[in-house]
């Protein structure tokens, strides 16, 4: 049950369960995209099932989501299974199902996840946060398109904003922006997974031409534990994204997310479909 004080992300991630690993949920109009839910909130929902599972070991280490088909508006069933538990890692398979045209369950989304019991070891940062203006020095922008999920985030671009003119004159795929939930919400793993998918398709920036595009598969790697997420709190994250190759209808894009203190919290890589 939700109230008027429940954050929109928490409301979207509500899952009910009577059996371990079997959940029911409902798509959220607050995170609706053009033809279905924002892919980031779908990823967050899959991770939420793992976080709620009574057999979970440790904290998220990685999450891979494959968007096999469109998730329709309405109820869905989610299955999360720990397929193997080792001494320090646990491996999961996860799926979302909805009734098909004949009423039989159809898989819309598949995923795998790894959770781990982290321990203190030697650590180093080989990807430092770039030198950029502070969030207060960057102006927030209104939603670029009339879709609801864009209203759920505060975005302050640093570089690589959407083109003002869709004239084919693009020459880079790099974007940097400060971001956080709107209204502000303490950071957790599910919110971090969602924000790893916040970047618009790199092909739009590289070509300065808006073409149909959609994520096929995304993997998020979590470098932060719950203590570092708690330290980050409701602060901004600096997100950086760029593509590496556009070829024959697909491109990949990589992203990094740092907190304001310069700690790398997560990285991601995804493959995206696009039309000419």
156-171, pLDDT tens digit by residue?
999 999 998 999 999 9
- Judgement on whether residues 149 and 185 belong to the same structural domain of the protein: yes
Q: Which residues pair with 75 in a beta bridge?
A: 26
Both tokens of 86, joined, read: 């080792």
Q: How confident is the model at residue 49 (pLDDT cuts 50, 70, 90)?
A: very high
Q: Judge whether 67 lies within some domain.
A: yes
Question: Of 65, 84, 116, which residue sits at a domain end?
Answer: 116
pTM (2 d.p.) = 0.96
Over residues 246-269, mean pLDDT: 98
- Judgement on whether residues 222 and 178 belong to the same structural domain of the protein: yes
Over residues 142-168, mean pLDDT: 94
Tell me, what's the pLDDT at 155?
Answer: 97
Tell me, what's the pLDDT at 103?
Answer: 87
Q: How far apart are CA 269 and CA 218, in angstroms?
A: 6
Question: Which residues, at least 6 apart from 202, have a Cβ–Cβ distance to it below 8 Å?
Answer: 173, 175, 241, 242, 243, 246, 251, 253, 272
Q: How far apart are CA 125 and CA 31, in angstroms?
A: 33
Q: How confident is the model at residue 16 (pLDDT cuts 50, 70, 90)?
A: very high
Residue-level length of the chain: 276
- Judgement on whether residues 16 and 51 belong to the same structural domain of the protein: yes
Q: Judge whether 121 lies within some domain.
A: no
Nearest CA to 268 out of 260, 256, 259 is that of: 256
Percent of the chain scored above 90 by pLDDT? 93
Tell me, what's the pLDDT at 2?
Answer: 45
Query: Which sign does the torsion angle of CA 221, 223, 226, 230 carry?
Result: negative
Q: Judge whether 2 lies within some domain.
A: no
Tell me, what's the pLDDT at 144?
Answer: 87
- Judgement on whether residues 68 and 147 belong to the same structural domain of the protein: no
Tell me, what's the pLDDT at 39?
Answer: 97
Q: Judge whether 125 lies within some domain.
A: no
- Judgement on whether residues 13 and 110 belong to the same structural domain of the protein: yes
Percent of the chain scored above 70 by pLDDT? 99
Q: Judge whether 237 lies within some domain.
A: yes
pLDDT at residue 3 is higher than 60: no
Tell me, what's the pLDDT at 209?
Answer: 94
- Judgement on whether residues 103 and 139 belong to the same structural domain of the protein: no
Residue located via tokens 């070991």: 57
* Total domains, the chain: 2
- Judgement on whether residues 104 and 217 belong to the same structural domain of the protein: no
Q: Judge whether 130 lies within some domain.
A: no
Report the CATH number at residue 218. Answer: 2.40.160.210
Lowest mean pLDDT among 26-30, 67-71, 176-180: 67-71
- Judgement on whether residues 66 and 174 belong to the same structural domain of the protein: no
Tell me, what's the pLDDT at 4?
Answer: 59
For 56-101, write each residue's pLDDT tens digit.
999 999 999 999 998 999 999 999 999 999 999 999 999 999 998 8
**What is the CA angle 174-180-184, rounded to 5?**
170
Nearest CA to 203 out of 268, 266, 248 is that of: 248
- Boundaries of domain holding 40: 8-116
Question: Of 63, 81, 116, which residue sits at a domain end?
Answer: 116
């Amino acid at each position: 049950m939700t109230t008027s004080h429940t954050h929109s992300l928490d409301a979207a991630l509500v899952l009910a369960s009577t059996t371990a690993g079997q959940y029911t949920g409902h798509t959220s109009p607050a995170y609706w995209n053009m033809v279905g839910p924002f892919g980031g909130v779908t990823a967050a929902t899959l991770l939420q099932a793992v976080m709620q599972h009574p057999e979970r070991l440790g904290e998220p280490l990685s999450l891979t989501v494959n968007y096999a088909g469109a998730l329709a508006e309405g109820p869905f069933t989610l299955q999360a299974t720990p397929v193997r538990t080792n001494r320090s890692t646990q491996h999961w398979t996860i799926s979302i199902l909805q009734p098909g045209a004949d009423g039989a369950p159809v898989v819309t989304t598949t995923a795998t996840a790894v959770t781990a019991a982290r321990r203190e070891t030697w650590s180093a940062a080989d990807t430092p946060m770039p030198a950029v203006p502070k969030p207060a020095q960057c102006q927030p922008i209104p939603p670029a398109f009339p879709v609801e999920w864009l209203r759920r985030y505060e975005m302050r671009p640093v570089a690589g904003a959407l083109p003002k003119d869709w004239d084919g004159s693009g020459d880079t795929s790099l974007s940097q922006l400060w971001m956080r939930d709107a209204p502000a919400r303490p950071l957790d793993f599910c919110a971090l997974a969602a924000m790893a998918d916040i970047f618009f398709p790199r092909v739009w920036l590289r070509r300065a031409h808006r073409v149909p595009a959609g994520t096929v598969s995304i993997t998020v790697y979590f470098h932060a534990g719950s203590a570092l997420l708690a330290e980050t709190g409701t602060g901004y994250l600096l997100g950086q994204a760029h593509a590496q190759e556009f070829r024959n209808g697909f491109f990949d894009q990589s992203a990094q997310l740092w907190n304001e203190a310069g700690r790398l919290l997560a990285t991601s890589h995804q493959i995206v479909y696009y039309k000419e």
